[in-house]
Structure 1
Amino acid sequence: MAKLEPHTMLIEKLFASGLTHAEISSSLQQMGMKECSKMSVRRFCALHGLRRKGSVSDAELDSALIQSVYETGPSYGRKFMTGYLSSLGLHAGEGRVGKHLRQLHQPYHELRRQGARNLNPTPYHAEYMGHKLHLDQNEKLGMFGVTHVLAVDGYSSRIVAHSTMPIKNNLVIYEDVYRSAVVNHGMWDQVRVDRGKEFYLCLYMQERLSRYRHNLSRPPYLQTTSTRNLRVERLWPEVNNRVNYPLKRALVHLLDQEVLNMEDNLTRFCMSNLTCQVSQIGLNRVVRSWNAHKIPGRGIPNELAADGCLAKVSEELLPCASVVGNLYEQDLGSSLTWESVFGADPFSCEEDRCHAEQIFAENYPDISLIFNHVVNNDDTPFQDALICLMNVTARYV
């Protein structure tokens, strides 16, 4: 590398022009400098502080990773963590992120090594963004009053909408998942769901709007077994491992200690309310990471879905859930469950509810910290918060 020192100004000029290390090496060799490999140029640039604009120093990357590991727990490896950092606006290579993860938290690295899984390759084809939209529900925390619903585009694998609710509900799924996905991205040719009744309102609107699709030759929707809803089923292990199982562990421990009475409506209501909020924080992080991470051989979901669906529809064609619910009941003569609550709402008036929520918020102003602790195997803050919420609620009912 000492042979490069006389050419410092030249190398700095080439670097400033935007050339890569390999391109600088090639240019120097063409000028007659035979012993100037790409690695030599890289070391020279590092020694002289030549960094690309927007690049992240090792100290900055370590600091970001320490906070991100605190927020996501041990299961985020180099690919998912790279996606998570990218979603926060910090860009670094997968190999570099993996190296720093190994150095920063060796125990977590070993856990990921021991938990490595082989994926079952299954034939699947979607021609373009907007070909297939997969909807599915997750009830791993169902006994505690938490249900997740995802909508995933089959071509890009991008999670285009999601929602967390106490009990799966047609109106909430239509409003927060199907309507949100179509308004923001366009009209899918085909919606794919399992045979559950919770998607009836979505399928009703998909059929009503079927003439606005790009390819009218396809059926507007398909109902299949859960095992054939491939794109979205692939995501649930990621959500379970990173969100549901840590929370379930904390709640099961309270059950074992007989702190929770599952027959008590106040307990059920508070447990569902808090766990929905906390799990939504974790789900948001998984969604952001998934959409920003690179899928080998395919690409980054956010980039693959950047242009949206080929067919666009006006928001006026997608009324709110209450309007669509009334249309559904009038057209089909069927009834919908309009509101789903886990347990029973214990508050007799809105004023009491506001007082209880204010007191709880004073004790726990940032519930994202609760999730940070649970995902890092510290269940106590979440358990204490739940007990606090139950005690505060009991004072106002």
Structure 2
Amino acid sequence: MDVDEVFEMVTSGMTHEDISNTLKTRFPGIRGFSARSVRRFCSENGIHKPDSAQVDAVVECAVTEVGHVYGRRMLKGVLESKGIKVSEKRVSESLQRVAPLQYDQQRNDTLDRTNPLQYSALHFGHKLHIDQNEKITMFGATHIVARDGYSGKIIAYCTMPVKNNLAIYDSILRSSTKTYGLWKQIRVDHGREFYLLLYVQEALRCRVGPRDILPYVQSPSTENHTVERIWVEVNSRINYPLKRHLISMEATNLINMSDETTKFCVSFVTCNVAYHGLSLFVAAWNHHSIPGRGVPNHLQVQRYETIPIPDGEVPGTDEAADAYRSQGGQLREFGLFGCDPLKDRQDLIMKREQYFLSRCRFGDIFSNVVSGNGQAYSYAIAEFIRITNSLEAYL
């Protein structure tokens, strides 16, 4: 028996009897895999199931980090993304002890998240769904997410102050194609922010891939359910906690969103805090089990059929933009949200960010918003405004 393999099975919640049956099935005809032998092996190698206190400690830490909206499946995904294997049952039992109110709210959630439309994706790499979320766009933060239709895996994501064709192409299509390969079809809504991405997708698919499927499809957001359902989760876990706090700050005159410098500073902090929350969510999502489907990361491996593209074949961002414009296309390049008074001084920008990051950590700020009183968020915004105004005096 392999120590690491048995340790993983024990920590995942399997009993000695379960492990014995698994090994007997995997190695038929080989003796020495009785439940008693497994128990002795575990004792000799110091392999023990984490006790309730240990499980409670890691679950409570995860709840503090991501907030109280994650259920047992998503929390199990959070722990697995950190290399901690705990069975879904034990996570559920721990939640009842460390966050009983939130556990009851999750159990009594009656929101219907089922998709009534028939949908089919044959493999990982068949259909890629891309969409934007603008729930906190009034504070200078917009999310873009790309989700594979077969596995449900989120394969690329970004958060930016204002929707930008070039940034979306670079962070979503270019990044995913270089990492995984080319999808046969991309599905988006009719937003102009996707024009450059679709142009490159069509150009690449004209050279490679099957001819019996369109390189992209544009449809109303209401028909892009595969990615739209992600936003219900993102809003409750990330956007709404941030938005509530920002609205409160504005109502109490802690921030003045009619001031261009303040708008920029709020956007900078909010984008980074929201992106940290989105990163935690994506890691948990890709490791969690989707009822009736499986774990996105596992489904990806089962039927991995993207189209291989040599690295040099994927155009750089500026190269793609120039090619699009040379054919008469127009791209709206949006800048910052608000105005950064230091925009022409890279030395002062670097100095500002170094000083700010020495005093504020985006991970701590996010955890404080979703699990605390949000004062760290208020402090970070005020501090970034103060540093910016102070450095502006050097101009």
The TM-score by the shorter chain falls in which range? 0.7 to 0.9
Residue 135 in structure 1 maps to residue 130 in structure 2: yes
Aligned to 1:267: 262
Aligned to 1:6: none
Partners of 2:205 and 2:351 in 1: how far apart? 47
Partners of 1:51 and 1:236 in 2: how far apart? 45
Counterpart among 315, 318, 324 of residue 319 in structure 1: 315
Aligned to 2:81: 87
Describe the SS at the equivalent of 1:240. Answer: helix
Alignment map for 1:285-300 (pairs within 5 Å): 285-300=280-295
Describe the SS at the equivalent of 2:364. Answer: helix
Q: Higher mean Cα deviation, 304-313 or 244-253?
A: 304-313
Alignment map for 1:289-368 (pairs within 5 Å): 289-306=284-301, 308-331=304-327, 333-347=328-342, 348-364=344-360, 366-368=361-363
Aligned to 1:111: 105
8 Å contact from structure 2 (residues 123, 304) kept in 1: no
8 Å contact from structure 1 (residues 56, 91) kept in 2: no
Q: Higher mean Cα deviation, 55-64 or 141-150?
A: 55-64
Mark the structure with the bigger radius of gyration: 1
Counterpart among 206, 214, 217 of residue 219 in structure 1: 214
8 Å contact from structure 1 (residues 212, 313) kept in 2: no
Partners of 1:300 and 1:363 in 2: how far apart? 38
Aligned to 2:5: none
Alignment map for 1:46-195 (pairs within 5 Å): 53=47, 55-122=49-116, 123-195=118-190
Alignment map for 1:370-389 (pairs within 5 Å): 370-389=365-384
Structure 1 unmatched ranges of 5 or more: 1-14, 27-37
8 Å contact from structure 2 (residues 163, 334) kept in 1: no
8 Å contact from structure 2 (residues 185, 217) kept in 1: yes
Partners of 2:189 and 2:46 in 1: how far apart? 49
Q: TM-score, normalised by structure 2?
A: 0.86
8 Å contact from structure 2 (residues 189, 221) kept in 1: yes
Describe the SS at the equivalent of 1:268. Answer: helix
Quote the offset at 1:53 in angstroms. 4.7
- Number of aligned residues: 366
Q: TM-score, normalised by structure 1?
A: 0.86
Task: Give CA deviations for 1:201-245 in whole Å, capped at 9, x if unaligned.
Answer: 011011101135443211111000001111100100111111101
Partners of 2:21 and 2:326 in 1: how far apart? 73
Partners of 2:72 and 2:295 in 1: how far apart? 15
Partners of 1:302 and 1:23 in 2: how far apart? 24
Q: Which amino acid aligns with 1:329?
A: R
Aligned to 2:386: 391
Task: Give CA deviations for 1:257-283 in whole Å, capped at 9, x if unaligned.
Answer: 122211111001000000000001100
Quote the offset at 1:55 in angstroms. 4.9
Q: Which amino acid aligns with 2:166?
A: L
Q: Higher mean Cα deviation, 250-259 or 105-114?
A: 105-114
Aligned to 1:21: 17
Quote the offset at 1:119 in angstroms. 1.7
Describe the SS at the equivalent of 1:261. Answer: coil
Describe the SS at the equivalent of 1:260. Answer: coil
Aligned to 1:237: 232
- Structure 1 residue ranges (4+ consecutive) displaced by more than 6 angstroms after TM superposition: none
8 Å contact from structure 2 (residues 140, 263) kept in 1: yes
Distance 1:257 1:128, change over 3 A: same
Aligned to 1:206: 201
Identity of aligned residues (%): 36
Aligned to 2:278: 283
8 Å contact from structure 1 (residues 150, 159) kept in 2: yes
Quote the offset at 1:187 in angstroms. 1.2
Distance 1:255 1:124, change over 3 A: same
Describe the SS at the equivalent of 1:305. Answer: helix
Structure 2 unmatched ranges of 5 or more: 1-8, 23-33
Q: Give me the CA root mean square deviation.
A: 2.7
Distance 1:285 1:54, change over 3 A: farther
8 Å contact from structure 1 (residues 158, 302) kept in 2: yes
Q: Higher mean Cα deviation, 109-118 or 64-73?
A: 109-118
Aligned to 1:30: none
Describe the SS at the equivalent of 2:381. Answer: helix
8 Å contact from structure 2 (residues 131, 189) kept in 1: yes
